[in-house]
Structures are given as structure tokens and as C-alpha cells.
Chain A
């Protein structure tokens, strides 16, 4: 190797290392000691929160450096026969490549994370811009914003530009709704310092996470949020879905870091969440046809 090539190689390796380690653990923004003594209200969960550590709190290719980052939990309860059939039907493109040496080298991981196929060959509803549904959107590593109103909390996800309404007006969870909907029906209340959200009636075409774990429309999802510092929001979720899983399924702890409004700006200086829509005109008509499908060999 020539000296020049060696120098270039060293520089590139440095860049790779920087890109790999500039973020905090599991992608969350690094701790900022300037926030340590800032006062905060444990019952105020408003603001922009993100699970990713790159500038602006974005994910995309910048996250999932380990496979767990986009997963609900690696501790998956045994499925029911119906649940197994639903799981087998879903073909995700995330995780370790099906049949690869990489997949074989990680037998400790649940099979859901070792069965990826090229995106053009999968069955992921989001590859066609269908709504992600609550659990998957919460796990997705781009920012989300919560706006607290007198009778509800609005949860806006930047990627996909999806909105959930978490009702705090005292209504009871909707049991066995007539019409399941993409984001479900959510009620919420405070239990001490924990904001508890109960969601029912989520359309069963959504996936629990990027790995294609299924749920039924009878799923009852509980989210428990705790603001543990000025700039930290913690979330755990529990899925109760006896039609699909033989036991309740609790998520791993998901941590969000607070982003101030100015933390996201367009090049014009327009601050706040970006209108990051997944539009079929972009995703399906252009990207899928000209990039994703050819890359997967579906279109030669």
C-alpha cells in the first residue's frame, strides 16, 4: 500500500469511527450537562423528542447500528397458532439477511431479526406509505412532538407525518370498536408521575415493529411515559393480544432525548418538525419503480 493510500485509508477509517461513535448508546443524543440543572415539570411531556443522535435527531440510515434499535423487544413471547401464521406471512426487509452467514452467526437473536429479504420482495406495508401504527412509529428513530391540550395530547411523528390523538377527557378505552383504524383509539391519564396511554382498535395491517411482528385488531396496547429529567423521556409498552401471543409482551425501555425547537431547521432557518411525508408519488411511483424494485431484482 502506498503512503498516499495508507493516509487515505487512515482518514477514512477515522471517518467511519467518528460516524459510528459520535452518537450516544442506541442512537439517543449524547447527554448534555448544560441540561442537568434545568427545572422541569414531570407532568409536562410536551416538546420534541427523538431517539436518534445525529443532527436534527434523525434516523434513516443513521440508526439501527445494532438491530435492537428498531425493534419492540427481543424477548418475544411464544405466538399462538394464529400468531405464527401472521408472523410467517410478514416478510420484513430489516434485520439480518435471511440465510446469510451474518444471520447464522447470531442464533441468540429471535428469528424475527434474522429473516430479512430485499425490500422489493417483502410485504412491508410501509414500503407503500401506509401508516406505521403506534408501536412502530414510536420505535422509529426520527423525532416526534407532543402537544398538550386541555382534553388531549397530540402526538405528531415527523417521518410519515402521522398524528395520534391521546384523549385525556376522562373517556374510557374503546373496547371492541366497530371499525379498527390505522392509529387506533387512545385514552390517557396520569398515574402518579407516569402518563399512561391505552390504545385499542389498531388496524391489524400495521406491524408491531420493523421486523414484521404482527398484532390483531384486538390488541390492547399500554404505553407508560415518564419524564425523568429535563431532556429525557422514557417509554415502556405492553401488548396484550391473546389472539396472537400467549403472554403479554413488554417492550424494552425506549429513551427519548429532548430537542429544542431550533434543533431542527430547514436551510432557510424554518424551525420545528419537518413535514416529512411518505407520499406514494415519491415512494411508490418513483423510488420503488426505479430504485427499490431494480435493486431487489424484481425489475431487471
Chain B
């Protein structure tokens, strides 16, 4: 299994812990020890309370491990970042190659909270760029059909 722990990630996310570890989900996931995986999407569900991504990771000896991950932003937040259902589902069709960094479950199961998600072009998907819990989804470069896309700074209504 390809499994890379990046020093920079670990250090920076650990630095973010005082902000992040207080969430309900923080009790399940180990934010201090993120792992980065290269995988292939098998399922994606754009639903409450948090969208879920399922993917296969193939190890060096060809063994396949099935993972599940939840996004911290919920659909309402993703929408405000320009990531509606159609755009998100198009970006994560089954078979899509991804590089995903997750905070793994403390229980040791193959489940994690998704901290960063890239496609094989290196594009950030669903605006999840590594800010961890509380990250405001970013709009990204290509809004879907009908999307009224604005820079994130203009989306903040006050």
C-alpha cells in the first residue's frame, strides 16, 4: 500500500490542532498523523451530514485496500464554495485517480476525514485544499454548468 506521511503535513496539522481538535469528529480521527494515499474512486455520495468518498488503494504488491472518507464541509458549505452536486459528482466519477490526505480513524479502520483532495492533474477537488476542519471550500477553476461562480472573497455576505 502506498502510504506517505509527509513531515510538512504532520507538522502543520499538528500546529492546527488547538483549533481543530474540538470538533465532534475530532474524537474519531487522528489529525496529528495524517496519511496521504493514491487511489481510485469507487463511490461518491453528495449527501448530509457530510459527503462521503470511497476509494481503492493498491499497494506495492498489488493488494487492494478499500477506504472510506468523509468531507468536513457539508453540502451547504460546498455549495457556497461553488461545488454543487453535479460539479462534485463529475469531478469524482468512479475510476477517477486521486491523491487524498486523510486524518485516519483512531480505531485503525480504513476510514478517514478528508483533509486534501487532488485529481491526477493536481487540481484541488471540492475546494478541500488542506486547511483541515473549518476550511472554507474554495471555488476552484471550473464551475459546472449553470454555476454562478464568484471569487471566494465576493461570496462572503456580511
Question: B79–A62 contact, CB under 8 A?
Answer: no
Min Cβ gap B156→A in Å is 5
Query: Dominant SS at the B interface?
Result: loop
Task: List residues of chain B with CB within 8 A of the CB of A34.
Answer: 158
Min Cβ gap A132→B in Å is 13
Known: A19-B134, A56-B76, A297-B108. A119 touches B25 (CB 8 A): yes
Task: List residues of chain A with CB within 8 A of the CB of B75.
Answer: 276
Task: List residues of chain A with CB within 8 A of the CB of B74.
Answer: 58, 60-61, 276
Question: A55–B155 contact, CB under 8 A?
Answer: yes
For chain B residues 12-32, which have a beta carbon within 8 Å of chain A?
12, 15-16, 19, 21-29
Task: List residues of chain B with CB within 8 A of the CB of A54.
Answer: 77, 80, 134, 136, 156
Question: A16–B131 contact, CB under 8 A?
Answer: yes
Quick one: CB contact mask for A63-95 with B, threshold 8 Å, 1 for yes? 111110000000000000000000000001111
Question: A55–B156 contact, CB under 8 A?
Answer: yes
| Number of A-B contacts defined by CB within 8 Å | 214
Question: A265–B148 contact, CB under 8 A?
Answer: yes
Question: Nearest A residue to B11 by beta-carbon distance?
Answer: A9
Interchain CA distance A65-B22 in the complex, whole Å = 7
B49 within 8 A of A: yes
Tell which of A162-170, A172-180, A188-196, A282-290 binds the partner: A282-290
Q: A interface, how many residues as a size bin?
A: 35 or more
B140 within 8 A of A: no
Question: B47–A286 contact, CB under 8 A?
Answer: yes
Question: A267–B144 contact, CB under 8 A?
Answer: yes
Question: Nearest B residue to A288 by beta-carbon distance?
Answer: B49
Question: Nearest B residue to A54 by beta-carbon distance?
Answer: B136
Quick one: CB contact mask for B15-57 with A, threshold 8 Å, 1 for yes? 1100101111111110000000000000001011110101000
B135 within 8 A of A: yes
Min Cβ gap B11→A in Å is 7
B109 within 8 A of A: yes
Task: List residues of chain A with CB within 8 A of the CB of B82.
Answer: 267
Interchain CA distance A86-B43 in the complex, whole Å = 40
20 contacts across the A-B interface (CB closer than 8 A)? A15-B135, A19-B132, A29-B156, A62-B133, A62-B135, A93-B24, A93-B25, A93-B27, A94-B23, A257-B158, A267-B84, A267-B87, A267-B143, A267-B148, A278-B49, A282-B49, A287-B50, A287-B52, A291-B50, A291-B68
Interchain residue pairs A-B with the least CB separation, the first 9: A297-B107, A263-B157, A267-B84, A32-B158, A61-B72, A56-B80, A93-B24, A295-B28, A55-B80
